[in-house]
Amino acid sequence: MHECAKADFRNFSAFRAFTLSCFRAIQKQDNSKETSKSENMKKRLIILSGAGMSAESGISTFRDSGGLWDKYPIEQVATPEAWRANPALVLEFYNIRRKELLGVKPNAGHFGLAEMEKDFEVQIITQNVDNLHEQVGSTKVLHLHGELMKVRSVGNETDIIELNAQRPEIFIGDVCEKGFQLRPHIVWFGEAVPLIEEAARLTQTADIFVVIGTSLNVYPAAGLLGYVPKSVPIYLIDPNEVAVGCSGIHFIKKGASEGVKNLRNVLMC
């Protein structure tokens, strides 16, 4: 029996007060249902972000001339062979990269994507190892190639430790609780990408798919385009020409900050 039917009302005032409280409770439930329904109706916006997303923040890419990668060739610091040959050099390189990250801030593109969570269900799949998406409040970020501010045990890849501004470096001799050396929590060239299947699954759920700041030359990440449902619009934000092997893509030839702003205007029309 409903509470309204069981109440013992001894005067009109009590009846009126109780009726009003019932009405407010029902109204609150209806509003809650409407909010939940509205959230469930949000379109799923899947973002694939690459190095160009963070370049505006001052993070150098391995294609930049005169940058960090010129001093440290990929084969010497970002492969399993490099780790076996000279782990100290590898650690030195990633220590420098962490210090670089601590000295930069997210750009307007990062903020723009976080802001879009108000109107869309945003899932970011990033090739970047920085944490700039998280710094501005993006809630769903999948890092395909690992995370710069994390390290893991060479004896157990699930034993992951997060570093911070107070401790941004690791060296030979820094070990996990079980005594194994710590290494960068990075997917190096030549290693499998553990989260690529999850990324492909997420891509298949897209209502809108957006590529930002990537040349689409690095596989398997570039192959995610093949998982976008045929009816789903694809937007590509990059100031440079990007060769894409499929038609129907909407190009926004801008950097990340201006491009995300333009994208929002287009999607909100």
250 among known catalytic residues = no
d(CA 144, CA 224): 12
Evaluate whether 160 touches 185 at the Cβ level (below 8 Å): yes
Chain centre distance of CA 40: 21
Annotated catalytic residue within 110, 133, 143, 145: 145
Rounded Cα gap, residues 98 and 188, in angstroms: 16
- Catalogue the active-site residues: 145
